[in-house]
Structure 1
Amino acid sequence: MLKLRIGAIIFLLANFFVIAQETTYELVENLPYYEEAILNADAYIKERCKLDVYFPKNGSEAPTVVWFHGGGLENGEKHIPEGLLNKGVIVVAVNYRMHPKVKNPVYIEDAAAAVAWAFNNIAKYNGSPKKIFVTGHSAGGYLASMVGLDKSYLNKHDIDADRIAGLIPFSGHTITHFTIRKEMGIEGTRPIIDKYAPLYHVRNDAPPMLLITGNREKELLGRYEETAYFYRMMKVVEHPDIELMELDGYGHDMVYPAVPLLLNFVKEQTKKTE
């Protein structure tokens, strides 16, 4: 009996020290995601097309969250949402070029280049290219959807968009983005579905998706409804793994309560790859 007790104590202590051992993280900032020749040919690319990598120093093959900031494709700065810190995931926070210095589809091309960088380099930061999730808020959610649904952008980098482990747009347009419509001289209240709309690229073989918006009465004009229509069309084509969540009590500023849902989605999808 004494031996059993001593053994149990040793087991508990060993597990306590494993649990108590905190994962340490490192932040590497302002890494360019285009090749040097491209950077040197354009000052604005050299200024904006950079990303930060926040990663656990101990461990390996961690899931990666590629995060695109919002700001209507006209403003904003790369950042890591607080809720993604110290959560066992790598975060790749991306800057991209913006209107009016550039016009569509430059924003989407930059987003695709950043995702391609993650696939090609994330193993250096203890990540796995099999566990790359693409997300972002508002304009960032739109970019995440476009990169994952229109396969042509990642194809230019010899990467199949279906390798993405999951897409999690936060309150992103599923119609053509209002800044792109503005560039075409179209009013923001006139919805357009062309090749620059995620809705245009509905397909049943797209990566798993978690769609999150704020409450339909508090969101930006029609954001919940257009997302709900996208969800319905994906179900019509029998996409096997898509979910829509509406956050009651929150409007367009819904990142804080959405991040735990993202992390749970990452956890569940990652289990499927292991």
Structure 2
Amino acid sequence: MRNHPMKTLTYPTSFLLVFLLSLPLCAKKTEQKAATYETKLNISYYDDHALANADEYKKSHCKMDMYYPENRAGFPTIVWFHGGGLTGGKRRLPALKNQGIALVAVSYRLSPKGEFPCFLEDAAAATAWVIKNIAAHGGDPDKVFIAGHSAGGYLSAMVGMDGRWLAAHGISNRKLAGIIPVSAQVTTHFLVKKLRGDQGEQYRPIIDEYAPLYHASKNLPPICLIVGDRRIEWKSRVEENELLAVSLKNLGHEQTEFYEMGGLNHRAVGEGALIIIKKYVNRIIEERGKEPSP
């Protein structure tokens, strides 16, 4: 375990993942009927009005899959964005099924077929749809977390930290229950830099309005930053996230957590992070339940 100024944890072995993912997300305090789950595929998160003048790519690609407990009420939801450098990748539900939570896997438009900043617009639109519609499926709109791996982590950080993206849908980013970027670039994403005309090298950091770091503030939802082992992670990824964690803490953000997972590279931490995410979601909900009513 490294000595960081905020909560930090190292997981050196893979067997722990199998063991912890076999445990239920929420401890059952009383005997109750086992949860049953429903899966809905290819849900459009843009309404007919938004798609009226859209191109076929937006109409066909801006879809999501939802998996949720159909005989439970008030459950939390994780909105998950896939990785792929903002140019590739496909949506898939994270391996957190049968845990008493809803999972939403989102497809978003990719570059160069989609025009910048389409992927940020899509990530916000999907998140807004979940917040506005999850209650109709039994979930709690105040228990919506956004998360993702790599490029998906970047999108979750930007939508969660830069309020303008959800504000376009009449929602405050502070309504989110938590933001969980996994191995996310938190300076301006290397593709975004290029799309905006930067000619510098990939690892030359830029911190502008398209960098999560730029939006560090004490007035943000709980943030859990997860990265792999700095010895084998993507270059600069651990250090950038560590800087964001320290910056948030120094600005007065009281619910910042930073985890470096020993032995896991950039790809492997996408799965390994689920150990932390499962327990983190449960703990944040429990802590909120203990807060006094305003």
Q: Which residue of 1 aligns with 2:105?
A: 93
Deviation at 1:185, TM superposition (A): 3.7
Q: Which has the higher contact order (CA 8 A, sep 6+)?
A: 2
Q: 1:78 & 1:263 partners in 2: Cα distance? A: 19
Q: Which residue of 2 aligns with 1:266?
A: 281
Q: Which residue of 2 aligns with 1:179?
A: 191
Whether 1:147 aligns to 2:147 is no
**CA contact 1:145–1:198 (8 Å) conserved in 2:** yes
Q: Which residue of 1 aligns with 2:241?
A: 227
Q: 1:185 & 1:167 partners in 2: Cα distance? A: 28
| AA aligned opposite 1:179 | L
Q: 2:85 & 2:260 partners in 1: Cα distance? A: 21
Whether 1:54 aligns to 2:67 is yes
**CA contact 1:130–1:273 (8 Å) conserved in 2:** no
Q: 1:111 & 1:89 partners in 2: Cα distance? A: 20
| TM-score (norm. length: structure 1) | 0.91
List structure 1 runs of 4+ shifted beyond 4 angstroms: none
Deviation at 1:17, TM superposition (A): 9.8
| AA aligned opposite 1:223 | R
**CA contact 2:94–2:103 (8 Å) conserved in 1:** no
Whether 1:242 aligns to 2:256 is yes
| AA aligned opposite 1:210 | C
Q: Which residue of 1 aligns with 2:208?
A: 194
Deviation at 1:130, TM superposition (A): 0.7
**CA displacement 1:34-75 (0-9 Å, x = unmatched):** 111332422111111111110001110100000000000000
Q: Report which of the two structures shows the higher radius of gyration computed on alpha carbons.
A: 1
**CA displacement 1:184-233 (0-9 Å, x = unmatched):** 24331211111000000010010001100000111111000011011111
Residue 30 of structure 1 aligns to a residue whose secondary structure is: strand
Q: 1:221 & 1:17 partners in 2: Cα distance? A: 47
Residue 76 of structure 1 aligns to a residue whose secondary structure is: coil
Q: 1:138 & 1:28 partners in 2: Cα distance? A: 25
Whether 1:114 aligns to 2:126 is yes
**CA contact 1:174–1:199 (8 Å) conserved in 2:** yes
**CA contact 1:145–1:169 (8 Å) conserved in 2:** yes
Q: Which residue of 2 aligns with 1:37?
A: 49
Q: Which residue of 1 aligns with 2:34?
A: 22
The alignment of Structure 1 onto Structure 2 pairs a total of residues equal to 258
Q: Which runs of 5+ in 2 are unaligned?
A: 1-27, 290-294
Q: Which runs of 5+ in 1 are unaligned?
A: 1-14
Q: 1:260 & 1:217 partners in 2: Cα distance? A: 21
| TM-score (norm. length: structure 2) | 0.85
Whether 1:214 aligns to 2:228 is yes
Q: 1:154 & 1:200 partners in 2: Cα distance? A: 17
**CA displacement 1:65-113 (0-9 Å, x = unmatched):** 000000000001110122x111111001100000111232211111000
Q: Which residue of 2 aligns with 1:167?
A: 179
| AA aligned opposite 1:172 | A
**Which of the pair is proportionally richer in helix?**
1
Q: 2:112 & 2:186 partners in 1: Cα distance? A: 22
| AA aligned opposite 2:219 | D
Identity percentage of aligned residues: 42
Q: CA RMSD in A?
A: 1.6
The farther-off stretch of 253-262 and 220-229 is 253-262
Deviation at 1:263, TM superposition (A): 1.1
66 and 44 in structure 1: CA distance in 2 versus 1, 3 angstrom threshold: same
